[in-house]
Structures are given as structure tokens and as C-alpha cells.
Amino acid sequence: MGRRKAAPKEEAKVVEAPKEEAKVVEAPKEEAKTPKKPATKKVVVNVFTKIDEHIASDDRDMALVAGRLKEFIAAVEDTNSDGKLIIAKYYNMYLTIKSTLELQDKSKLKERFDLINLAFKELENYKYKDGLPFEYRVNKFDHLWTYGDKSLTTYRNMVTVISTLCDLSTREARIGKIIDLDLAFNPDKVTLSETGINNVKAYYQV
């Protein structure tokens, strides 16, 4: 018998995996950033610096007003000292405000009362460590006031009016609603002269 011819061997085929195309990975695009505006510094008027400057000035009358204000501020902050000493400083402040409001010279009146008004704004908004509000502090020792009932009423009304109207941003809303200047400065009830009453009304633009 003849031999069968062996079937030709198939060559092993190498199947190559499909080549992956090289992918170009793009860096993420940065969004265009809007340049930040430089921070605007808020200019704060330091009333205590202004007071010290006036005390050191050559204007003796203005220096006196500033000195009385400095004593008043210290008394307002300190509610634990001798009440009689504090009341004496409050009385001096009463005299200072009264004499300022009764000035005939409008420019001097404005300069002095601007400083008083600014100081009261600071005191009204100040966060005291003991948590007691300004209104309580300035009336705490009223029972020790020995300078007459009419002057005490005037002092109280002055303090209330100035502290309520010292902030220009809230003044318009408060006049006539929270504060009635005609009632606060009734000539029969206060020691202010007619000039003083007219000046305080004009200052707050009523």
C-alpha cells in the first residue's frame, strides 16, 4: 500500500492586537479669570485721635470741649467708680453742650458740636464689656445729681437727642417718630436759651 501524504502543516498565525492610536491628552483650559479689584480700605474716623489733637491744639476753647469729652467718655466706660465723681463729669458735659449750642458764631458752633456728635455716635455704637447700653450708663447715677431738676431734665434730653440723631443714615427716620425736638426742648422744661434750642434744631436740620 502506498503511504498517505501528510497534510501540510498550517503555520501558526500571530494575531496582533489592534494598535491603539496615540491619544493626545489636552490640558484642561483655564477659564479666563477676572482680575480682582483691589480691596478698598474703609476710612474710619477715630474720634479719640481727633479729641487728643484738639486737646493739644492752640484753640483753647476747642481744647476745653475736647478735654470735657475725654473725661465724659472715661466716665461712661467706668460704671464702677464713685458715682459722685462720675456725675460731676456728666455735669461738666452738660455745661459744655449747653454753652456750645448757645454760641452765636455758627462756624465755631458747628466745629465743636461736630466733635460732640461724633463722640456720641462712637459711644452709642460701642460694645461695652459688661454689656450695659450707653443709655443706661449715662443715667445710672441720676439720683446723685445735685445741680437742680431742670438741669437734670436738660442733660437727659440732650443726651437722648444727640445719641438718637448722631447717625446721619438713620436721622431722618427717627426725627418726629422717636424724637420730638419740640417736646425735648420745651423752653419751660429745659435750661437752654431760645438760641440754643434753635441751634440744636438747625443742626439736625429739622
Per-residue pLDDT of 160-201, as tens digits, reads 999 999 998 889 888 878 889 999 999 999 999 999 999 999
Domains in the chain, number: 1
Torsion sign (Cα): 72, 73, 76, 82: negative
Give the CA distances from residue 20 to residues 27, 79, 172, in Å, rounded to whole numbers and listed in that order.
21, 85, 77
Selected residue with higher pLDDT from 45 and 190: 190
Whole-number pLDDT of residue 72: 95
Q: CB neighbours of 74 closer than 8 A, spacing ≥ 6? A: 89
Whole-number pLDDT of residue 44: 43
Reduced to 3 states (helix: H, G, I; strand: E, B; else coil), residue 171 is helix
**What would the mean pLDDT of 123-135 be, rounded to a whole number?**
86
Whole-number pLDDT of residue 40: 37
Residue 51 buriedness (CB in 10 A; 0-12 / 13-18 / 19+) = buried
The number of angstroms, rounded, from the C-alpha of 189 to the middle of its chain's C-alpha atoms is: 32
Whether the pLDDT of residue 32 is over 70: the answer is: no
Whole-number pLDDT of residue 113: 97
Task: Please tell me the least confidently modeled range out of 101-110, 118-127, 138-147.
Answer: 118-127
- 147, part of any domain: yes
- 53, part of any domain: yes
Whether the pLDDT of residue 127 is over 90: the answer is: no
Cell (9 digits) for 133 = 447700653
- 42, part of any domain: no
- 30, part of any domain: no
Q: Give the E-state strand segments of 101-182 in sequence order.
A: none
The C-alpha atoms of residue 165 and residue 86 are separated, in whole angstroms, by 24
The C-alpha atoms of residue 4 and residue 180 are separated, in whole angstroms, by 131
- 131, part of any domain: yes
**What would the mean pLDDT of 76-92 be, rounded to a whole number?**
91
**What would the mean pLDDT of 48-56 be, rounded to a whole number?**
92
Whole-number pLDDT of residue 178: 85
Instruction: Give residue 83's domain range.
Output: 47-203
Q: Helix, strand, coil proportions of the chain in percent (round to 5)?
A: 55, 0, 45
- 137, part of any domain: yes
Whole-number pLDDT of residue 41: 39
Cell (9 digits) for 175 = 426725627
- 96, part of any domain: yes
- 33, part of any domain: no
The C-alpha atoms of residue 52 and residue 17 are separated, in whole angstroms, by 89
Q: Any idea which residue has 494598535 for its cell?
A: 19
Whole-number pLDDT of residue 38: 44
Of 179, 145, 186, the residue nearest 160 (C-alpha): 179
**What would the mean pLDDT of 53-81 be, rounded to a whole number?**
92
